[in-house]
């Protein structure tokens, strides 16, 4: 059965039958995505990457706009998310990303999933069968393994690993750059046990170890604020010399207000030197770009 016929059997369709792997059944309020095996673990599958390069293992992500529309139906309209496995033909490309990838097969099995945002990308979270989950590691574990594979000496590796897990050198660099001491840059809370030194441009996206350790590429925030920032549901926009909070319209303002978070709050950036602030501005542009694309 063709992919189109398979989806029609479930009452679903899309506007990009050739390239799209997202489908919608408006009558039943269901969104269905193909879950590529190379992007799938036992508990999650990457179904939409905001940088447009990770979701399908090729240089350019097809049907991105349509896929994002379907994601918004799940986020905002209460549509159920479902997936079916898609198996990559690993012999179809030269390994350099220069050729178009091909589908070896897809599996006519539909599974209910929950949508979750992880580091700004969209995942179908739920139980995925082991035979269709060929990506062994992701996120923190993947980054740490990447450090071991890099050409860095033992001491350098230890420093990078400690920085990746939010401790050590990177945390100290963030504190030094901001000049506020060990406190939240937004609320000035000084309970260090709940403070997280988070990257603005994610570790995995940084091009060099210098960027990964750059204190200008981080903000020390309370854990709940850091989580919103990390999911690109909260960001900071520059207005004159100030940086003000901006919130996703999908968030409940009353709930956030009870947590001390609302639009228009000012980052405490007074102690940051101009040379650091210029780099901070560049990093923040990347974060704001993803925030705006998700609106």
Separation between Cα atoms, residue 277 and residue 267, nearest integer Å? 12
Report angle CA 103, 104, 106 to the nearest 5 degrees.
Answer: 80
SS3 230: helix
> Could you tell me which residues come within 8 angstroms of residue 96 by beta carbon, excluding any fewer than 6 positions away?
none
**Is-contact 174 200, C-beta < 8 A?**
no
Could you tell me which of 206, 207, 251 has the C-alpha nearest to residue 229?
A: 251
Separation between Cα atoms, residue 128 and residue 139, nearest integer Å? 18
pLDDT tens-place values along the chain, 295 residues long: 788 899 999 999 998 777 788 999 999 999 999 999 988 988 889 999 876 544 444 434 457 888 999 999 999 999 999 999 999 887 655 444 434 567 889 999 999 999 998 877 899 999 888 888 876 544 544 554 454 445 555 555 555 555 445 456 788 899 999 999 999 999 999 998 889 888 999 877 888 878 888 999 999 999 999 999 999 999 999 999 999 999 999 999 999 999 899 999 999 999 999 999 999 999 999 999 999 998 8
SS3 110: coil
Tokens 């999911």 map to which residue? 231
Q: Tokens at residue 15, please? A: 């506007």
pTM, two decimals, is: 0.51
SS3 55: coil
């Amino acid at each position: 059965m063709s992919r189109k016929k398979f989806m029609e059997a479930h009452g679903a369709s899309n506007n990009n039958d050739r390239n799209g792997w997202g489908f919608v059944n408006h009558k039943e309020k269901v969104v269905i995505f193909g879950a590529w095996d190379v992007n799938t673990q036992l508990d999650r599958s990457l179904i939409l990457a905001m940088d447009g390069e990770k979701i399908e293992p090729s240089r350019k992500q097809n049907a991105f706009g349509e896929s994002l529309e379907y994601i918004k139906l799940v986020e905002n309209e209460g549509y159920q998310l479902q997936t079916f496995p898609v198996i990559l033909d690993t012999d179809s490309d030269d390994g350099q990303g220069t050729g178009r990838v091909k589908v070896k097969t897809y599996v006519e099995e539909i599974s209910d999933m929950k949508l979750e945002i992880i580091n700004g990308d969209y995942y179908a979270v739920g139980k995925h069968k082991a035979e269709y989950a060929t990506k062994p590691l992701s996120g923190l574990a993947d980054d740490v393994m990447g450090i071991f594979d890099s050409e860095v000496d033992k001491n350098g590796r230890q420093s990078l690993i400690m920085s990746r897990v939010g401790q050590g050198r990177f945390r100290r660099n963030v504190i030094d750059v901001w000049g506020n001491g060990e406190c939240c840059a937004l609320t000035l809370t000084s309970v260090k046990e709940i403070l997280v030194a988070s990257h603005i441009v994610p570790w995995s996206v940084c091009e060099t170890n210098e960027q990964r350790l750059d204190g200008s590429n981080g903000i020390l925030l309370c854990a709940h604020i850091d989580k919103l920032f990390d999911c690109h549901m909260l960001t900071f926009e520059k207005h004159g010399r100030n940086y003000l909070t901006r919130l996703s319209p999908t968030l409940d303002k009353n709930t956030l207000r009870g947590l001390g978070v609302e639009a228009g709050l000012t980052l405490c950036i007074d102690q940051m030197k101009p040379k650091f602030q210029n780099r901070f501005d560049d990093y923040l542009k990347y974060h704001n770009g993803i925030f705006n694309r998700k609106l």
